[in-house]
Amino acid sequence: MNSKAADRIATGVFVAIAITIVTILAGLFFYIFVNGFKHISLEFLTSPSSNVRAGGGIRDQLFNSFYILFITMLITVPIGIGGGVYMAEYAKPGKVTDLIRTCIEVLSSLPSIVIGMFGLLIFVNTTGWGYTILGGALALTIFNLPTMVRTTEDAIRAVPRDLKEASLALGVTHWHTIKTIILPAAFPSVLTGAILAAGRVFGEAAALLFTAGLSTPRLDYTNWNPFSEQSPLNIFRPAETLAVHIWSVNTQGLIPDVNEVASGSSAVLVLSVLIFNLLARWIGSLIHKRATATK
């Protein structure tokens, strides 16, 4: 009887824990969206931010976030896929492979502030670039690379072995088999993983504080020359992203409408990450369906 009672109490506790977790998430989302959506308007999204006055928007921050994300993925995806292919297809068990695995583990567990400091040391000071989009993107690459490598490796390992054997048995080289058979088959999972990683990169701030900086020069969105100082496309200009903006308005606190700007930005940020997540799932299932539908 006693143990029965204990069992019932324990079950109650576990249910309570589950409810707590659900409540935390529901509370967070409720707070973010209810508070945030009040402040989101077309004007908020399309006007530049202000350093001192109220009523600033997040146009440049939003653009910077997407642009840095784009540059980061442009660097990360090829290297990450290459690394994943190496680990899944070429790495032989041994010391070198163990070393690479350790490196991936180290890189993936580094605090993002430490990666930011490394970025400051190399991409800002040593190169003499100062705070730049490229420096930020390279720091985020270090942050993102381990995820991309692991995703690719797992995706390739999930491709049926007999497809690879079939291609090799036709007298096709390993590399050509990887390009034409293995990677296409692994593509849905790699894409899903890349989009999920993109969501993580999009919200990252600590690695960018000291690499891409806390300011954005006055941008002229009609100037598409990537070498011009005022062009939004210039990768050698400082760029404050949305996530960094939330932090900087709160800590520097110079504008009177900190709360409004931060709430609105948070909602936009979380919404974007949410869209990345849903997109990843949707694309994943879509491609999965198309690949199997003809069966």
Q: Tell me which residues in 90-119 interact with other proteins (CB under 8 A).
A: 90-93, 99-100, 102-107, 109-115, 117-118
Report the run of H or E that residue 38 belongs to, with start and end: none
Q: How far is the CB of 53 from other proteins (least distance, A)?
A: 21
Name the residue nearer to other proteins (CB basis): 144 or 231. 144
Q: How far is the CB of 228 from other proteins (least distance, A)?
A: 27
Give, as one character, the DSSP assignment of residue 92: P
Q: CA-based angle 218:219:220, to the nearest 5?
A: 130
**End-to-end CA distance of the chain, in Å?**
56
Q: Among residues 111 and 226, whose Cβ is nearest to other proteins?
A: 111
Verify binding: residue 188, other proteins, rule CB under 8 A.
no
CB of 223 to other proteins, least distance (A): 29
Which of 33, 37, 66, 86 is close enough to bind other proteins by CB under 8 A?
Answer: 86
The verdict on 270 binding other proteins (CB under 8 A) reads yes
Question: Please, which residues have CB within 8 angstroms of residue 77's CB and are 6 or more apart in sequence?
Answer: 148, 194
- Show Cβ contacts of residue 287 under 8 Å, excluding neighbours closer than 6 positions: 187, 188, 191
Q: Please tell me the count of residues contacting other proteins according to CB under 8 A.
A: 112
Is position 120 an interface residue for other proteins (rule: CB under 8 A)? yes
- Determine the number of helices (DSSP H) and then strands (DSSP E) in the chain: 12, 0
Q: Name which of 212, 88, 62, 222 is nearest 140 in CA terms.
A: 212
Using CB under 8 A as the binding rule, whether residue 169 contacts other proteins is answered as yes
Which residue in 243, 255, 260, 264 binds other proteins (CB under 8 A)? 243
Pick 18 or 228: Cβ nearer other proteins: 18
Is residue 40 close enough to count as binding other proteins by CB under 8 A?
no
The verdict on 183 binding other proteins (CB under 8 A) reads no
**Near other proteins by CB under 8 A: residue from 41, 51, 225, 259:** 259
Burial 49-69 (b: 16+ CB within 10 A, else e): beeeeeebbbbbbbbbbebbb
Region 195-234 residues binding other proteins, contact defined as CB under 8 A: 199-200, 202-206, 209-210, 214
Output the CA angle 265-266-271, nearest 5 degrees: 100
Write out the two tokens for 98. Answer: 């163990």
CA-to-CA separations, 106 to 61, 110, 117, 142, in angstroms, rounded: 31, 6, 16, 11
* Stretch in the footprint of other proteins (CB under 8 A) among 51-59, 164-172, 215-223, 224-232: 164-172
Q: Which is nearer to other proteins, 68 or 145 (CB)?
A: 145
162 near other proteins, rule: CB under 8 A: yes
Looking at the Cβ atoms of 105 and 229, the one nearer to other proteins is 105
